[in-house]
């Protein structure tokens, strides 16, 4: 029964400690879950707007300052959305190296998220291209196309094809670009931007000087009705007119360009000046210099600052004006071209300075953000440390209180056991076990203390109990076991001498003493009191005796010894 109680107490203590541990784990899990939910929400918000406003997407993602602490799934999604924002905003992907992390994550994810995997193929291909690894970029995008095609993922297939087209176009691989645009038209023949695909195809054939194919696809792009008039007039119709003129169809080009000009004037379009300069070129090609000069003058009158900001448009104006000056003066002068070249060089220097200044500002901002992040992390660490300290302190106090409670309960039990011993020893019925207890207590001096102080019996008893419990009075100094052994032999028919003769040095002195106390029917608690040993020690000593005597663990020691001596 005592063993069961002791085990129950230990189980209770472990349960209390585990409760505190669970509270600590729950507290930090709650913080972690809240933080992860916020980070996931930010990434989802950024992903929703990345197709409409990639700059806003990047701004939202900047709200996550500890990307390296994200879970694997969130980290993969974070870098995927970041790369997509850079791609959509046509920014350099030179620094998007962590798109490789997303690619590896979605490649190994089971079950696969095919849409995100193919998106990572597209972005990884573009990252490789920006880093000069163009063959790897091409093979990566081609592999993604094959996966999309085999999986009948039309949307991803189209996105990958468009990415391949852009890369080949930037590498000036016109024929490859043409073949991929045709593939795109075949699979996306009902697309809302199909007229743009035909227009791009016509421009590609124009670059390789294939007039028939170029004009065929340009006319086809113009034949498709579009709800976006601005796109048609600002982009497709102007391209068509300019290419018609280059292939010698000047009058048709003039006709189309005048329709475009009419639209520009009605809508007060900023491209009005471009239409005038194109007409100036067309009329110059058919020898009508007066008309050419007239439209050039109109172009200058409607010239807007944005033209200077576009290098190709500014160059177009400069060349056209230089040619007209030559027609007028019969002299080829480089003043305007030189001025344009110098301005271009100055603009280049200014842009480099702006970039350097921007980079320096970004560096300082990153440094400031890093300092803020470090400060935030330090504060978080201190908060966590303080929280842990409080929890540990509470845990220590709880354990201390539990232990003190246990000690008090044990002392109360010892007090009751000793009171019972005294009560038994004072009874007139001096049976053998009671007589032995009386002799033992007389050696401890307790009976004398109680008898000589009848008016303060309890107080003296408790004082003596405290001295024994605190080991101020060692049991060895109070008990004379040589006399007690003789009493045991006298009462119990030579009990001690018989077991000592049989076992001699097999058992220790304290084990012989324990056997004698058990024979005298002392309880475990009573033995603990008179020997100043813990209950655990008494149980352990009993187990040792059973092992030495080759007894069964549950077998009674006294009964066993009585049976053999």
Percent of the chain with pLDDT over 90: 33
Residue 239's nearest CA partner among 213, 260, 223, 270 is 260
**Tokens representing residue 472 in the block:** 């101020």
How confident is the model at residue 375, as a pLDDT? 79
pLDDT band at 463 (very low <50, low <70, confident <90, very high): low
Cα gap 251→142, rounded to integer Å: 44
Whether the predicted pLDDT of 16 surpasses 60: no
Whether the predicted pLDDT of 425 surpasses 60: no
Q: What's the pTM?
A: 0.57
pLDDT band at 92 (very low <50, low <70, confident <90, very high): confident
Per the CB < 8 A criterion, the answer to whether 27 and 387 are in contact is: yes
Whether the predicted pLDDT of 97 surpasses 60: yes
Cα gap 148→117, rounded to integer Å: 10
Percent of the chain with pLDDT over 70: 76
Whether the predicted pLDDT of 293 surpasses 90: yes
pLDDT band at 462 (very low <50, low <70, confident <90, very high): very low
How confident is the model at residue 68, as a pLDDT? 79
Cα gap 419→523, rounded to integer Å: 13
Most confident residue range from 157-161, 426-430, 461-465: 157-161
pLDDT digits (tens, 9 = 90+) for 215-248: 999 999 988 888 788 888 888 999 999 999 999 9
How confident is the model at residue 411, as a pLDDT? 63
Number of neighbouring beta carbons within 10 Å of residue 443: 18
Cα gap 548→505, rounded to integer Å: 11
Most confident residue range from 30-44, 240-254, 419-433: 240-254
Hey, what's the torsion of the CAs at 58, 60, 66, 72, to 10 degrees?
-80
Cα gap 535→524, rounded to integer Å: 7
Whether the predicted pLDDT of 66 surpasses 50: yes
| CB-count exposure of residue 363 (10 Å: 0-12, 13-18, 19+) | exposed
Please state, in angstroms and as integers, the Cα–Cα distance from residue 237 to each residue in 196, 229, 508, following that order. 11, 10, 112
How confident is the model at residue 349, as a pLDDT? 66
Cα dihedral sign for 137, 141, 144, 150? Answer: negative
How confident is the model at residue 530, as a pLDDT? 74
pLDDT band at 295 (very low <50, low <70, confident <90, very high): very high
Lowest mean pLDDT among 206-210, 249-253, 408-412: 408-412
pLDDT band at 481 (very low <50, low <70, confident <90, very high): confident
Helix (H) or strand (E) holding 373: helix 335-425
> What is the pLDDT averaged over residues 385-408?
84
Most confident residue range from 309-318, 441-450, 453-462: 309-318
For residues 192 and 412, the model is more confident at 192
Residue 238's nearest CA partner among 290, 199, 206, 209 is 199
Cα gap 511→423, rounded to integer Å: 27
Number of neighbouring beta carbons within 10 Å of residue 229: 11
Hey, what's the torsion of the CAs at 245, 251, 256, 258, to 10 degrees?
110
> What is the pLDDT averaged over residues 74-93?
91
Number of neighbouring beta carbons within 10 Å of residue 283: 21
Cα gap 144→125, rounded to integer Å: 9
Query: What's the distance, Cα to Cα, between the start and end of the chain in Å?
Result: 29
Per the CB < 8 A criterion, the answer to whether 80 and 120 are in contact is: yes
> What is the pLDDT averaged over residues 334-363?
66
pLDDT digits (tens, 9 = 90+) for 525-537: 878 877 778 888 9
For residues 222 and 467, the model is more confident at 222
CA 218 to chain CA mean position, Å? 51
Q: What is the DSSP string of 197-216?
A: HHHHHHHHHHHTT-HHHHHH
Hey, what's the torsion of the CAs at 370, 376, 380, 386, to 10 degrees?
120
CATH superfamily of 192-333: Tetratricopeptide repeat domain (1.25.40.10)
pLDDT digits (tens, 9 = 90+) for 256-292: 999 999 999 999 999 999 999 999 999 999 999 999 9
Average pLDDT score over the chain? 80
**Tokens representing residue 298 in the block:** 């109109």
User: What ranges do the domains of the chain cover?
Assistant: 192-333, 430-564
Most confident residue range from 243-247, 303-307, 405-409, 558-562: 243-247
Please state, in angstroms and as integers, the Cα–Cα distance from residue 27 to each residue in 33, 71, 173, 534, following that order. 10, 19, 59, 39
Number of neighbouring beta carbons within 10 Å of residue 179: 15
Whether the predicted pLDDT of 466 surpasses 50: no
Whether the predicted pLDDT of 85 surpasses 70: yes
Whether the predicted pLDDT of 45 surpasses 80: yes
Helix (H) or strand (E) holding 548: helix 535-548
**Tokens representing residue 492 in the block:** 């119990």
Angle at CA 428, nearest 5°, toward 426 and 430?
90
Cα gap 97→533, rounded to integer Å: 70
Please state, in angstroms and as integers, the Cα–Cα distance from residue 458 to each residue in 450, 461, 526, 528, 542, following that order. 8, 5, 19, 21, 33
> What is the pLDDT averaged over residues 206-213?
94
Residue for token digits 């970004």?
Answer: 362
Whether the predicted pLDDT of 465 surpasses 80: no
**How large is the C-alpha radius of gyration of the chain?**
49
pLDDT digits (tens, 9 = 90+) for 302-340: 988 888 777 788 888 888 888 888 888 888 777 666 666
**Tokens representing residue 186 in the block:** 């075949």
Encode 445-504 in three state secondary structure: CHHHHHHHCHHHHHHHHHHHHHHHHCCCCCHHHHCCHHHHHHHHHHHCCCHHHHHHHHHH
For residues 524 and 432, the model is more confident at 524
Most confident residue range from 102-111, 227-236, 303-312, 450-459: 102-111
């Amino acid at each position: 029964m005592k063993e069961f109680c002791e085990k129950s107490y230990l189980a209770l203590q472990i349960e209390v400690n585990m409760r505190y541990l669970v509270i600590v784990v729950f507290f930090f899990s709650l913080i972690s879950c809240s933080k992860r939910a916020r980070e996931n929400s930010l990434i989802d918000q950024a992903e929703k707007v990345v197709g409409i406003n990639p700059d806003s997407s990047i701004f939202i993602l900047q709200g996550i300052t500890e990307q390296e602490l994200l879970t694997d799934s969130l980290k993969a999604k974070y870098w995927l959305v970041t790369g997509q924002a850079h791609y959509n905003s046509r920014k350099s992907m030179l620094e998007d190296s962590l798109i490789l992390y997303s690619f590896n994550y979605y490649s190994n994810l089971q079950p696969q998220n095919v849409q995100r995997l193919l998106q990572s193929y597209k972005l990884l291909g573009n990252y490789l291209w920006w880093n000069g690894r163009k063959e790897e970029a091409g093979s990566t995008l081609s592999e993604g196309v094959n996966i999309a095609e085999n999986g009948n993922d039309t949307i991803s297939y189209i996105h990958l094809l468009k990415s391949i087209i852009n890369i080949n176009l930037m590498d000036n691989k016109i024929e490859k670009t043409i073949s991929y645009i045709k593939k795109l038209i075949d699979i996306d023949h009902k697309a809302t931007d199909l007229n743009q695909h035909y227009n791009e195809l016509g421009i590609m054939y124009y670059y390789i000087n294939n007039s028939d194919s170029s004009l065929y696809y340009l006319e086809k792009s113009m034949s498709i009705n579009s709800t976006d008039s601005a796109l048609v007039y600002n982009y497709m119709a102007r391209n068509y007119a300019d290419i018609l003129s280059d292939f010698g169809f000047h009058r048709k080009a003039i006709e189309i360009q005048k329709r475009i000009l009419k639209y520009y004037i009605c809508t007060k379009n900023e491209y009005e000046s471009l239409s005038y300069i194109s007409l100036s070129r067309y009329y110059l090609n058919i020898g009508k210099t007066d008309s050419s000069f007239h439209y050039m003058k109109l172009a200058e009158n409607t010239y807007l600052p944005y033209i200077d900001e576009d290098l190709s448009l500014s160059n177009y104006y400069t060349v056209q004006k230089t040619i007209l000056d030559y027609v007028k003066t019969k002299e080829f002068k480089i003043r305007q071209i030189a001025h344009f070249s110098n301005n271009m060089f100055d603009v280049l220097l200014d842009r480099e300075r702006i970039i350097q200044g921007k980079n320096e500002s970004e560096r300082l901002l990153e440094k400031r953000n890093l300092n803020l992040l470090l400060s935030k992390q330090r504060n978080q660490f201190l908060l966590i440390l303080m929280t842990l300290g409080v929890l540990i302190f509470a845990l220590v106090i709880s354990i201390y209180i539990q232990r003190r409670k246990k000690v008090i309960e044990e002392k109360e039990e010892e007090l009751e056991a000793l009171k019972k011993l005294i009560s038994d020893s004072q009874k007139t019925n001096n049976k053998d076990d009671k007589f032995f207890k009386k002799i033992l207590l007389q050696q401890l001096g307790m009976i004398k203390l109680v008898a000589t102080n009848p008016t303060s019996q309890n107080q003296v008893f408790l004082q003596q109990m405290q001295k024994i419990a605190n080991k101020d009075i060692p049991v060895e100094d109070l008990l004379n076991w040589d006399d007690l052994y003789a009493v045991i032999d006298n009462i119990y028919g030579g009990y001690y001498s018989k077991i000592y003769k049989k076992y001699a040095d097999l058992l220790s002195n304290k084990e012989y003493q324990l056997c004698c106390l058990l024979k005298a029917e002392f309880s475990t608690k009573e033995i603990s009191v008179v020997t100043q040993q813990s209950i655990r020690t008494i149980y352990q000593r009993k187990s040792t005796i059973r092992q030495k005597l080759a007894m069964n663990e549950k077998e009674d020691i006294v009964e066993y010894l009585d049976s053999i001596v």
